[in-house]
């Protein structure tokens, strides 16, 4: 399955996209785009791939994807009814509305969190069914008002789960710290080989002890924990996006033994790499 950049053909009469769909989707359009996306399956089930996360999903599990976050929502082969609402809106649109407005501070925070993909449980999402239906049917200024109403309600929900791993967050949110970004760039370019603390400290122009404290303060984890989780994130992407064997992926992500790879993969993802691959293949080839 190849990751693709998706360009949304904007309707000149409407500032953002919203559509209620009733037909299942069984393709392999794993893609990313410049818009934020709200995906709300009111009926049906399937598999969702968001960044390096792959899970089965059911009805009324709302997901909020940030800009340029790879994702795919694929319907189970036995489901013929898949009622869902899909909403896509640009950063420029929403920022024009909420920027410099103190009352919208929670929505701003919500948009930042969405960079890792946000999952809201059924117990919370179910209350929004009528809101999403109204949005799909709204016209004129009512569309924008209803979108803001939904974002406002979501921003107040405290029960949620971030879908992608911490490495996604660190890579996307560390750009304001040039020294940290330089270290992360080095890790992302050399993750396939052994990386020493001495190398990372030298890049940062610090002693080893100072670097360890610095990195832990900014990422809430040690450099080795970050490298380990980044390698597993890359392994997940390779499973989804290549035909490599698990053994090849183990070698290509810098692990020195297959047993170590399996142990770390399960500790990070909760399942083994083979189970992760089987889960993907089962849904991907059950059309």
Contact call for residues 284 and 243 (beta carbons, < 8 A): no
For the chain, the straight-line distance linking the first and the last C-alpha, in angstroms and rounded, comes to 14
Q: Do residue 216 and residue 171 come from a single domain?
A: yes
Q: Do residue 138 and residue 231 come from a single domain?
A: no
184: domain CATH number? 1.10.10.60
pLDDT per position as a tens digit, 126-178: 999 999 999 999 999 999 999 999 999 999 999 999 999 877 766 655 555 67
Q: Do residue 172 and residue 146 come from a single domain?
A: no
Q: Do residue 56 and residue 106 come from a single domain?
A: yes
| Nearest alpha-carbon partner for 110 in 100, 96, 120 | 120
Write out the residue range of the structural domain in which residue 184 sits: 166-284
pLDDT per position as a tens digit, 6-46: 766 666 678 999 999 998 887 777 788 999 999 999 998 88
- The residue among 136, 162, 188 that closes a domain is 162
The pLDDT value recorded for residue 170 is: 61
Quick check: 285 pLDDT over 80?
no
Q: What angle do CA 69, 116, 41 make, to 5 degrees?
A: 75
Q: Do residue 136 and residue 182 come from a single domain?
A: no
CB atoms within 10 A of CB 156: 11
- The residue among 162, 182, 214 that closes a domain is 162
- Output 280 or 78, whichever has higher pLDDT: 280
Contact call for residues 24 and 52 (beta carbons, < 8 A): no
286: helix, strand or coil: coil
The pLDDT value recorded for residue 125 is: 94
Quick check: 284 pLDDT over 80?
no
Can you tell me the distance from the alpha carbon of 157 to that of 65, in angstroms, rounded to the nearest whole number? 16
Q: How many domains does the chain have?
A: 2
Q: Are strands 161-162 and 53-57 parallel, antiparallel or unpaired?
A: unpaired
Give the CA-trace dihedral at 266, 268, 270, 273, to 10 degrees.
Answer: -40
CA distances from 149 to 106, 145, 178 (A): 12, 6, 37
Can you tell me the distance from the alpha carbon of 119 to that of 65, in angstroms, rounded to the nearest whole number? 9
Can you tell me the distance from the alpha carbon of 109 to that of 114, in angstroms, rounded to the nearest whole number? 9
Contact call for residues 48 and 164 (beta carbons, < 8 A): no
Q: Do residue 129 and residue 193 come from a single domain?
A: no
Q: Which two tokens stand for residue 11?
A: 């309707």
Q: Do residue 182 and residue 82 come from a single domain?
A: no
pLDDT per position as a tens digit, 226-277: 899 889 988 988 888 788 999 999 999 999 899 999 999 999 888 999 998 8
Q: Do residue 235 and residue 100 come from a single domain?
A: no
Contact call for residues 142 and 161 (beta carbons, < 8 A): no
pLDDT bucket at 287, cuts 50 / 70 / 90:
very low
Taking the model in full, what pTM does it have? Answer: 0.72
50: domain CATH number? 2.60.120.10
Can you tell me the distance from the alpha carbon of 255 to that of 232, in angstroms, rounded to the nearest whole number? 10
- The residue among 103, 129, 162 that closes a domain is 162
Q: Do residue 176 and residue 199 come from a single domain?
A: yes
Q: Do residue 151 and residue 19 come from a single domain?
A: yes
Q: What are phi and psi of 21, to 5 degrees?
A: -120, 140
pLDDT per position as a tens digit, 179-205: 887 898 899 889 999 999 999 999 999
pLDDT per position as a tens digit, 107-122: 999 999 999 999 999 9
Q: Do residue 152 and residue 176 come from a single domain?
A: no
Q: Do residue 12 and residue 133 come from a single domain?
A: yes
């Amino acid at each position: 399955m190849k990751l693709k950049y998706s360009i949304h053909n904007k309707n000149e009469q409407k500032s953002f996209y919203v559509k209620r769909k009733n037909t299942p989707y069984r393709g392999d359009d794993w893609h990313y785009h410049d818009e934020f996306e709200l995906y709300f399956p009111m009926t049906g089930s399937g598999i969702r791939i968001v960044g390096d996360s792959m899970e089965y999903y059911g009805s009324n599990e709302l997901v909020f994807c940030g800009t340029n976050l790879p994702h795919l929502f694929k319907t189970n082969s036995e489901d013929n009814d898949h009622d869902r609402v899909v909403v896509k809106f640009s950063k420029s649109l929403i920022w024009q509305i909420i920027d410099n407005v103190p009352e919208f501070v929670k929505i701003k925070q919500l948009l930042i969190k969405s960079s890792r993909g946000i999952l809201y449980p059924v117990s919370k999402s179910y209350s929004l069914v009528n809101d999403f239906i109204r949005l799909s049917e709204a016209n004129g200024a009512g569309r924008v008002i209803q979108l803001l109403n939904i974002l406002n309600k979501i921003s107040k929900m405290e029960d949620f789960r971030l879908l992608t791993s911490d490495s996604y967050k660190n890579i996307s949110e560390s750009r304001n710290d040039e020294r940290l970004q330089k270290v992360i760039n080095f890790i992302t370019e050399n993750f396939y080989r052994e990386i020493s603390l001495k190398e990372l400290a030298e890049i940062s122009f610090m002693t080893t002890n100072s670097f360890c404290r610095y990195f832990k303060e900014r990422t809430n984890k040690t450099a080795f924990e970050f490298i380990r989780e980044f390698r597993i994130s890359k392994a997940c992407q390779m499973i989804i996006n290549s035909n490599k064997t698990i053994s090849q992926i183990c070698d290509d992500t810098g692990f020195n033994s297959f047993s170590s790879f399996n142990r770390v993969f399960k500790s990070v993802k909760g399942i083994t790499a083979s189970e992760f691959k089987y889960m993907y293949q089962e849904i991907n080839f059950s059309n």
